[in-house]
Structure 1
Amino acid sequence: MRMRPLVFLSTVAAATLLLAGCSGSGEPESSSTPDPTASSSCALDAQPGDTSDAVTLDGGGADTKVTVPADAPFAGVERTVVSKGDGEEIGVNDLVSVQYQIIDAATGSVLDSSARGEGGLLPVLLDTNQSSLFVAALECEPVGSRIVLALPGDVLGEGASNVVVYAEAVEHLPEVATGTDVEPTAGMPAVELDKAGKPTVTIPDGDEPTETKVAVLKQGDGATVASGDLVVVQYLGVKWSDGSEFDSSWSRDAAPAQFQTTGVVAGFQKALEGQKVGSQVVVVMPPADGYGATEGHELQKESLVFVVDILATTPVQPQQ
């Protein structure tokens, strides 16, 4: 069964199967920006069962040995908390660093693991649509809990194998840019932040942009965003023409958004790639790098401004 591991993680139960009744954003197309929906309640609250209770863990961290009994029944979606952590409780739309393994129960092979991340950890945004597997595993339990999630193949799609997930959220990650302030760039829009980090934008006098320009407002020191990475951001989008907001993660309960850099408009992509996690950037773009090619779009003729906090990035593995 061919799959791209991060896509598998993101859509493991297609959200409508595993997390019925929860809403969220699909991966954005190049003609749109993300539209996540926040929720503070438990989305699934899976309970222990014969299969999840029977899985054994040896060792710790990303190198934990996960053993699935050959006769495990996989009668339904089950979750066993092997040991409870002492951190803050995790909820939908939280951004956390996670150590995990995803095991094919039939073969014992590791389908994906956080071992490829720095220090054996990878950042995960608990978005009910794009990261439903991790929502089911980690929600409503404290940071530091070691968890086993058992998923029968019939909830994963036709021909899928039974899967076991071992996961532990290690810490909550910042949901605003934490980098060092940088002096404003002349000619770029002015950006002010409120106490929560939400930006407001003042458009400068002068002509609309004829090319896309990016200025760093806060310089982070985290991982560098590469083309095609899965990124987590906070963002605000306004029109150059009148400064009015047309899209913002901040206006949706300040829930971060996640998407691949290649899945948004060209100007947004240029603002992300090559930047470091922890940075905040402002980007101005003409219609050609926004929605200019989308006939009939309400923003087709608009030059755009985005302020973006870059919170996390994860490389997407090639198909195996």
Structure 2
Amino acid sequence: MRTLPTFLTMTAVAALALTGCAASPDTAATPSATAAAALECTDPGSTSDAVTVAGDAGVEPTVTFDTPLAAKATERTVVTEGSGDAVEEGDSVSISYAAYNATTGAKLSSAGYGEEAGLTVNVVNNQSVIPGILKGVACSNVGDRVAVVIPPADGFGDAGNTDLGVAATDQMLFVIDIKDKVPTRATGTDQEPQDGFPTVELADDGAPTVTVPKTDPPADLGVEVLKKGDGATVADGGTVTVQYTGVIWGTGKVFDQSWGKGGPTSFSTSEVIPGFGQGLVGQTVGSQVVIVIPPAQGYGDTGNDQAGISGTDTLVFVVDILATA
């Protein structure tokens, strides 16, 4: 699956920030956890200081700058200081942004303003976010508005991005509003467990341990709500931010999870295996759900060798729904 966020696609604003995260619900390979290097704060410079930004918080700003902007390294200037909590490494934050080709002056995209839900960025290295976005968000406070000038090395690299109109040598400018922190676990009201579903025990940090019944798996897709949230409803094709653990019914083996791997992940319900997306549509933010997925709605007859999933394996996901857009 991909994030940015989220699953923002490469043609969306999210695409700018999140270029593609792989995780087990995707039809692609399942990654293993990797150690993340510590994020450092990014200093302002003469290039980012030269950007003029006007407008109120919550509204897309008016941005003016002389082209071309040409920073030797990523620069970050705080345009407006927020009074909210500091953004720390490992946090997930909701942002809005306006993005420009800093070389040509062309606007690339914008998102997250007004009634539109913000985009979620996980503040940890080794995420599927272009490095310049992380450097812009790290060390901010909730309520900050920052201008970030990003050279190719912290953007799309030597390849550029033809879909977005960014050449290999083009720099980018992001004006980012840090809207809020996103919870890292479900906060909804506990519900009565259903018979026949796996049992779930939660660690102090919310990470689930899943115990699968010693029975044959159900033939059909099943969804159990363990916590009921009162947030927005996940739409078909919508972007969600979640924490998840995936296990195989027959063995109880965990084949992938977001817990301990840099925090929540974001994706579109239409870009994951069918049962995973169907199990989330109609659920509400703040909920924790168990989704039982038969092979036909999972990885099909071919399974997923890299994840250790055969063509006959039923999958179980425990999912905390943290945000949707």
Q: Fold conserved (TM > 0.5)?
A: yes
Shift of 1:89: 3.1
Change beyond 3 A, Cα 1:86–1:304? same
Q: In structure 2, how many angstroms separate the alpha carbons of the residues matched to 1:83 and 1:283?
A: 43
1:67 is matched with which residue?
Answer: 63
1:249 is matched with which residue?
Answer: 258
Shift of 1:212: 1.2
User: Which of 228, 245, 248 lines up with 2:237 in the alignment?
Assistant: 228
Shift of 1:148: 0.6
1:65-93 CA distance string (max 9 Å, x none):
33323245323332112344444432454
1:183 is matched with which residue?
Answer: 192
Shift of 1:100: 2.5
1:55 is aligned to 2:51: yes
User: Which of 281, 285, 309 lines up with 1:277 in the alignment?
Assistant: 285
1:147 is matched with which residue?
Answer: 146
Q: In structure 2, how many angstroms separate the alpha carbons of the residues matched to 1:288 and 1:111?
A: 37
Structure 1: 5+ residue stretches without partners: 12-23, 315-320
* Matching residue's letter, 1:53: D
Q: In structure 2, how many angstroms separate the alpha carbons of the residues matched to 1:143 and 1:162?
A: 26
1:97 is matched with which residue?
Answer: 94
Q: In structure 2, how many angstroms separate the alpha carbons of the residues matched to 1:279 and 1:230?
A: 15
Structure 1 segment 20-169 matched on structure 2, within 5 A = 25-26=21-22, 29-33=26-30, 37=34, 39=36, 41-42=38-39, 45-63=41-59, 65-76=61-72, 77-105=74-102, 106-107=104-105, 109=107, 111-115=109-113, 117-118=115-116, 121-126=118-123, 128-132=126-130, 133-152=132-151, 155-156=155-156, 157=160, 160=166, 162-169=171-178
Q: In structure 2, how many angstroms separate the alpha carbons of the residues matched to 1:114 and 1:295?
A: 37
Q: In structure 1, how many angstroms separate the alpha carbons of the residues matched to 2:32 and 2:324?
A: 18
Q: In structure 2, how many angstroms separate the alpha carbons of the residues matched to 1:79 and 1:66?
A: 18
Shift of 1:10: 1.7
With normalisation by structure 2, the TM-score equals 0.79
Q: In structure 2, how many angstroms separate the alpha carbons of the residues matched to 1:200 and 1:163?
A: 43
1:253-274 CA distance string (max 9 Å, x none):
6x22222223322222222222
Change beyond 3 A, Cα 1:288–1:32? farther
Between 1:282-291 and 1:176-185, the stretch displaced more is: 282-291
Q: How many residues align?
A: 298
* Matching residue's letter, 1:130: S
Q: In structure 2, how many angstroms separate the alpha carbons of the residues matched to 1:267 and 1:64?
A: 36
Q: In structure 2, how many angstroms separate the alpha carbons of the residues matched to 1:248 and 1:96?
A: 20
Q: In structure 2, how many angstroms separate the alpha carbons of the residues matched to 1:276 and 1:185?
A: 18
Q: In structure 1, how many angstroms separate the alpha carbons of the residues matched to 2:192 and 2:54?
A: 50
Q: In structure 2, how many angstroms separate the alpha carbons of the residues matched to 1:296 and 1:95?
A: 29
Is the 8 Å Cα contact of residues 58 and 114 (structure 2) preserved in structure 1?
no
1:260-309 CA distance string (max 9 Å, x none):
22332222222222211111100112222223332572311322211110
Secondary structure of the 2:301 match is coil
Is the 8 Å Cα contact of residues 248 and 315 (structure 2) preserved in structure 1?
yes
* Matching residue's letter, 1:299: I
1:310 is matched with which residue?
Answer: 321
1:192-222 CA distance string (max 9 Å, x none):
2222212122223432221111111111122
1:28-73 CA distance string (max 9 Å, x none):
6414456564636216x43322221011122321325333232453
* Matching residue's letter, 1:146: R
Structure 1 segment 172-211 matched on structure 2, within 5 A = 172-211=181-220
With normalisation by structure 1, the TM-score equals 0.80
Structure 2: 5+ residue stretches without partners: 1-9
1:170 is aligned to 2:179: yes
Is the 8 Å Cα contact of residues 178 and 218 (structure 1) preserved in structure 2?
yes
Q: In structure 1, how many angstroms separate the alpha carbons of the residues matched to 2:304 and 2:106?
A: 51
CA RMSD of aligned residues (A): 2.9
1:8 is aligned to 2:16: yes
